[in-house]
């Protein structure tokens, strides 16, 4: 005979199981929410870090711009502008932080040389071009103490009053000749080369090649040997204020102007 079933007991037990199940679901739901919150925090943190990195990257690669600089502007930004002009061979006089007539004229000359809008105002385009890295580093050239001795002396004799970039550029021309195959293959040989009884470089003729070089000229010589180049492939240069350079102008290709020197290849 089958045992009697206590309906009330069964219902009570079912209620207990149901309550336990609901508690279990609630616990899992709570854990899921907690897990979701933790994941959300992680996602937010990663997103913020990525944005910061992108911001820094943009800052590194963005054009250098100190705001619109023009006649009458003053301050540190103007000093940086003037120093950059000096380094590129467009002297505004002293880097005194005052955007006066000399600075305006230097900006105009820079704009003319770089085919920019000519207005004497250093806006974003002008500053972007001006503050761009001027020197191109390439594989260096091995050299001896004798090479350094003569290269620093020709740089000093030819470009003592020129900006640093102009000094390095003179060294570039000498080394370009050494490598070209159309000139002697030694630094001293290039410097003391004669053509139809006339020395290729005027310091050889007037004796200034033997003057002791200053520290900047020695530094520029070492930079040229190390691969720093401001003159590209130029193998000729001259000062238009001292020489017409007719043969060079008629037979060679203009590269650039740095300070008082024009460079050709």
Task: Give the per-residue pLDDT at 17.
Answer: 52
DSSP state of 138: -
Domains of the chain: 76-131 (1.10.101.10), 136-264 (1.10.10.2520)
Q: What is the pLDDT of residues 128-164, one digit of tens each?
A: 888 774 455 556 667 889 999 999 999 999 999 999 9
Per this entry, what is the length of the chain? Answer: 265
- CA distances to 77, 87, 163, 251 from 166, rounded to whole Å, are 24, 8, 5, 23
- Tell me which of 87 and 98 has the higher pLDDT: 98
Contact yes or no for 229/172 (Cβ under 8 A): yes
pTM, two decimals, is: 0.52
Task: Measure the N-to-C terminal CA separation of the chain; round to a whole number of Å.
Answer: 119
31-57 pLDDT tens trace: 444 444 455 555 555 455 544 444 443
Question: Degrees (nearest 5) of the Cα angle 99, 104, 110?
Answer: 125
């Amino acid at each position: 005979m089958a045992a009697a079933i206590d309906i009330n007991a069964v219902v009570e037990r079912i209620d207990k199981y149901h309550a336990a199940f609901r508690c279990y679901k609630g616990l899992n739901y709570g854990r899921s929410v907690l897990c979701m919150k933790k994941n959300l925090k992680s996602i937010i943190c990663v997103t913020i870090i990525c944005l910061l990195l992108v911001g820094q990257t943009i800052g590194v690669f963005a054009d250098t711009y100190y705001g619109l600089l023009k006649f009458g502007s003053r301050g540190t930004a103007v000093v940086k502008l003037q120093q950059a002009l000096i380094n590129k061979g467009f002297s505004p006089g002293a880097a005194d932080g005052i955007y006066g007539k000399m600075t305006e004229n230097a900006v105009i000359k820079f704009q003319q040389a770089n085919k920019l809008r000519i207005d004497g105002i250093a806006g974003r385009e002008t500053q972007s071009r001006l503050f761009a890295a001027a020197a191109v580093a390439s594989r260096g050239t091995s050299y001896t103490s004798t090479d350094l001795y003569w290269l620093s002396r020709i740089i000093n004799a030819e470009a003592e009053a020129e900006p640093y970039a102009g000094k390095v550029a003179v060294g570039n021309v000498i080394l370009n000749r050494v490598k070209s195959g159309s000139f002697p293959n030694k630094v001293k040989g290039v410097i003391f080369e004669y053509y139809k009884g006339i020395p290729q470089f005027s310091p050889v003729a007037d004796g200034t090649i033997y003057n002791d070089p200053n520290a900047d000229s020695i530094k520029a010589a070492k930079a040229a040997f190390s691969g720093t180049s401001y003159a590209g492939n130029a193998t000729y240069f001259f000062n238009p204020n001292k020489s017409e350079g007719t043969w060079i102008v008629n037979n060679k290709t203009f590269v650039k102007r740095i300070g008082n020197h024009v460079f050709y290849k």
